[in-house]
């Protein structure tokens, strides 16, 4: 009997079976970090984009977690200031993928398969990952609690046919800081939009001192655990074809602590409300 989705999710919240090594991307000319399994050939790899006023160090546990499950996880540590360039971060993500595929990692006994690549990011970094995906074909994209960028992800999304996982916080999916719904609605390929219960868009960031000073809230351990499990399961299926984790890439699968969101239905509801508003205003004017 195959394990239940609940059991799989619980397993994926914990560290995987691989020992993890940490490396410096700067040696190859790109500021950043890379976490790898201790050994392995033709591994899948992820280039991860950080959020606004954060850096690669704020996602250490997430990157180590992916590596422990056999996925090379590399993150550029650039565009950390208050006025970042989303295009430059996207370019750095692509450079990071080139390093992963073109350089033998570890002691030379770790390599990445060029067809097993994904672009992943959080908030601003999710938007940068979308920008990068519009410039280079990869096997998967994951936008974790995406935020608006310039150029906008939703403007580029119709031309991207890569499978995508889009996560949003249930508490702020409709806020101006999230473009998860329009991004999912515009996506050209298969896309899954899930809202994570009791989560906010910055809950996965570790040690968020700068953002906390700006009132961005606190780190949410439960949000971090659920997010890394959802991401890991999605990547294990899309990059490695592991059928055990198929529910994590299934747009109809019900996963604990999440709700599937139909972006088209949300758009229709918003349109209906917009159509009702002038009528209500007319009625109110006649009553005066």
pLDDT at residue 220 is higher than 60: yes
Domain range for 56? 5-262
pLDDT at residue 205 is higher than 80: yes
Does residue 235 lie within any of the structural domains? yes
Does residue 81 lie within any of the structural domains? yes
User: What single-letter DSSP state applies at residue 38?
Assistant: S
pLDDT at residue 159 is higher than 80: yes
Does residue 270 lie within any of the structural domains? no
Q: Positive or negative CA dihedral for 125, 131, 132, 134?
A: positive
What is the pLDDT at residue 208? Answer: 61
Per-residue pLDDT band at 217 (split at 50, 70, 90): low
Does residue 286 lie within any of the structural domains? no
Burial class of 38 by CB neighbour count within 10 A (0 to 12, 13 to 18, 19+): middle
- Please give the mean pLDDT across all residues of the chain: 89
CATH of the domain at 235: 3.40.50.1820
Does residue 85 lie within any of the structural domains? yes
Token couple for 156: 């580029």
Average pLDDT, stretch 207-220? Answer: 66
CA atoms within 13 A on the CB side of 33: 16
Token couple for 45: 């790899």
Q: How many Å apart are CA 103 and CA 109, to the nearest integer? A: 11
Q: How many Å apart are CA 227 and CA 242, to the nearest integer? A: 19
Does residue 287 lie within any of the structural domains? no
pLDDT for 33-90, tens place per residue?
A: 999 999 999 999 999 999 999 999 999 999 999 999 999 999 999 999 999 999 999 9
Which residue from 38, 227, 39, 59 is spatially nearest to 47, judged by alpha carbons? 59
């Amino acid at each position: 009997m195959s394990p239940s989705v609940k059991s799989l999710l619980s397993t994926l919240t914990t560290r995987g079976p691989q020992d993890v090594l940490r490396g410096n991307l700067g040696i190859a000319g790109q500021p950043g970090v890379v976490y790898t399994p201790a050994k392995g050939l033709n591994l899948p790899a992820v280039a991860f984009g950080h959020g606004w006023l954060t850096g690669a160090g704020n996602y250490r546990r997430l990157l180590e977690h992916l590596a422990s499950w056999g996925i090379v996880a590399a993150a550029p540590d650039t565009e950390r200031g208050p006025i970042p360039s989303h295009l430059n971060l996207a370019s750095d993500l692509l450079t990071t993928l080139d390093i992963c595929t073109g350089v033998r990692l570890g002691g030379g006994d770790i390599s990445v398969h060029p067809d097993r690549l994904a672009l992943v990011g959080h908030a601003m970094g999710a938007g940068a990952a979308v920008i990068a995906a519009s410039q280079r074909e990869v096997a998967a994209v994951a936008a974790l609690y995406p935020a608006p960028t310039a150029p906008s992800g939703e403007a580029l999304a119709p031309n991207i046919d890569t499978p995508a996982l889009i996560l949003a916080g249930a508490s702020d999916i409709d806020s101006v800081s999230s473009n998860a719904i329009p991004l999912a609605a515009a996506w050209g390929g298969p896309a899954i939009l899930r809202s994570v219960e009791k989560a906010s868009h910055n809950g996965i960031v570790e040690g968020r001192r700068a953002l906390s000073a700006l009132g961005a809230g606190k780190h949410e351990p439960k949000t971090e655990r659920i997010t890394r499990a959802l991401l890991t399961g999605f990547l294990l299926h899309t990059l490695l074809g592991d059928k055990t984790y198929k529910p994590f890439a299934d747009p109809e699968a019900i996963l604990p602590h999440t709700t599937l969101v139909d972006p088209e239905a949300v758009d229709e509801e918003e349109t209906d409300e917009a159509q009702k508003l002038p009528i209500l205003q007319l009625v109110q004017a006649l009553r005066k």
